[in-house]
Amino acid sequence: MAENKDHILIVEDSDITLYKVKAVLIRLGYDVTSYNNPVAALEWLLSTSNQPDLILLDVVMPQMDGYEFIRRVRAQSQTAKIPILLLTSHVDTRDKIEGLEAGADDYLGKSASLTELELRVKALLARKHSKEDSITQISARSIAVFSLRGGVGVSTLAINLSIAISQLWGIETCLWDMVMGVGQCALMMNLKPNSTIASLSEWTDKTVDETILRSMLLKHDTGVWLMPAASGVEDSELITAKMVDLVWPVVQTLAPYLIIDAGNHFSDPTLTILERADVILLVLAPELASVNASYQALKVFSDLGFPTGKVIPVVNNIIPSSTLDVAKIAAGLKKTIITEIPYDGKNMVRAINQGIPYIATSPKSETSMAISTLAYRLSSSDMESKMTEHSTPQLDGIRKGIQRK
């Protein structure tokens, strides 16, 4: 797995300062791009696809001062959120205020120690990655559950997450099984499909009626409506990206939350779903092949221009004795892992064999609590404001747990 280094841009007109700071940052393991001319740096920044994670910026430069540079960076959507550390030999309060008002995130005196430089750089990068990975503020009405490696529990998580959101707030959710040809979700929920969206292959209208889609849904007594997968090879081949486009606007309206079992490979329909979903839960197991598959998936998402914060890795701990712990996985993926689901192998298999979703059979287990907490994080920003009076022992427990953290 290739190392995923943070990338830092230095803009400093003094070749000597540039040389020294660049050497220090490379020594610390960062990728560095440097310019001694702010105009050229800005031109590069606004045209490159290799956006830096952090900018170190001089203030007094002949072609353009640092404050103007910041204002121009902040004015462009693609660069507006890049953290900026001002390098300044001006240390009076007025200069600090001007820098911070222009939009700098922090400043550092040029006479500061190298350790202070190291710590401030690390702090700004950590804050940036933390913001990207925070899901407490995401309004995730459509949640795709996905992995590039099979057997890591994508369907299990999709089903149990749908139930968890439903039960937390007492609302209905819609689960869309996009794993074609298999029908795992229906099987695991003991439901028998009558028709699937494959029947829309001959649809010629530009829109599809809600009642038609509703007729395909299967009701589960946990409050989840299942849109089953097309079964068999022939039906599966009828599901196209165009069909996903046709169904998407309507399927979102069927319930307050839409959870999609997006399977474990990239196809045109899957990519269309992943692009449209508010959030992608990238499920992985603590083993190297799974981490590597997740790394590759993250790279594809990045190349497709998906916002970094849209993709949330979830470690499903199906190998409890693995030496690959969450910290190592997070370092490898350069993503914070906020959700680790403990494995409850015996009960999980029993639930599948009985056709009863796990969370319904073991509602108080650590595994169910982890899934419910994830469900809360994904739905609370919308639901807490609408249901301030809503209270159940489970919901209150999760609220308190999150507040403590």
Partner 1 sequence: MNLFIDTKLISSSPFIDEKVMDEFKKFMGEEGDTLVKELIELYLKNTPKLMADIENDIKVGDIESLKIHIHGLKGSSAQLGVVGVSNMCKNIEEVILEGKINEIKPLHDQLKDVYQQVATNYQGRISAE
Query: How far is the C-alpha of 23 from the C-alpha of 349, rounded, in Å?
Result: 54
Q: How far is the CB of 63 from partner 1 (least distance, A)?
A: 10
Is residue 253 part of the contact set for partner 1 (CB under 8 A)?
A: no
Q: How far is the CB of 13 from partner 1 (least distance, A)?
A: 7
Is residue 308 part of the contact set for partner 1 (CB under 8 A)?
A: no
Residue 6 CA to its chain's centroid (Å) = 18
Q: How far is the CB of 118 from partner 1 (least distance, A)?
A: 9
Q: Which is nearer to partner 1, 110 or 131 (CB)?
A: 110
Is residue 15 part of the contact set for partner 1 (CB under 8 A)?
A: yes
Is residue 34 part of the contact set for partner 1 (CB under 8 A)?
A: no
Q: How far is the CB of 62 from partner 1 (least distance, A)?
A: 5
Q: Which is nearer to partner 1, 61 or 180 (CB)?
A: 61
Contact partners, residue 133, CB within 8 Å, separation at least 6: 308, 309, 312, 335, 336, 338
The four Cα atoms 322, 326, 332, 334 give a dihedral, to 10 degrees, of 170
Which of 14, 362, 365, 381 forms a contact with partner 1 (CB under 8 A)? 14
Q: Which is nearer to partner 1, 15 or 209 (CB)?
A: 15
Is residue 91 part of the contact set for partner 1 (CB under 8 A)?
A: no
Distances (CA, A) of 270 to 103, 148, 193, 244, 246: 39, 11, 21, 9, 14
Query: How far is the C-alpha of 240 from the C-alpha of 270, rounded, in Å?
Result: 9
Is residue 393 part of the contact set for partner 1 (CB under 8 A)?
A: no
Is residue 19 part of the contact set for partner 1 (CB under 8 A)?
A: yes
Q: How far is the CB of 15 from partner 1 (least distance, A)?
A: 6
Which of 5, 8, 10, 24 forms a contact with partner 1 (CB under 8 A)? 24
Q: Which is nearer to partner 1, 26 or 75 (CB)?
A: 26
Q: Which is nearer to partner 1, 24 or 212 (CB)?
A: 24
Q: Which is nearer to partner 1, 109 or 332 (CB)?
A: 109
- Count of residues that interact with partner 1, criterion CB under 8 A: 18
Is residue 17 part of the contact set for partner 1 (CB under 8 A)?
A: yes
Q: Which residues pair with 142 in a beta bridge?
A: 258
Q: How far is the CB of 59 from partner 1 (least distance, A)?
A: 9
Q: Which is nearer to partner 1, 41 or 165 (CB)?
A: 41
Decide: 356 and 190 in contact? Cβ < 8 Å: yes
Q: Which region among 23-31, 123-131, 219-227, 239-247 touches partner 1 (by CB under 8 A)?
A: 23-31
Which of 51, 89, 190, 392 forms a contact with partner 1 (CB under 8 A)? 89
Is residue 29 part of the contact set for partner 1 (CB under 8 A)?
A: no
Binding map of partner 1 across residues 93-132, x = CB under 8 A, - = no contact: -----------------xx-xx------------------
Closest CA to 162 of 260, 254, 247, 262: 260
Q: Which two tokens stand for residue 89?
A: 């030999």
Per CB under 8 A, contacts with partner 1 among 62-81 are: 62
Q: Which region among 9-17, 135-143, 155-163, 388-396 touches partner 1 (by CB under 8 A)?
A: 9-17
Strand 142-146 to strand 279-284: parallel, antiparallel, or no bridges (unpaired)? Answer: parallel
Q: How far is the CB of 32 from partner 1 (least distance, A)?
A: 14
Is residue 300 part of the contact set for partner 1 (CB under 8 A)?
A: no
Query: How far is the C-alpha of 203 from the C-alpha of 14, rounded, in Å?
Result: 65
Q: Which is nearer to partner 1, 61 or 168 (CB)?
A: 61
- In the complex, the residues that contact partner 1 under the rule CB under 8 A are 13-17, 19-20, 23-24, 27, 58, 60, 62, 89, 110-111, 113-114
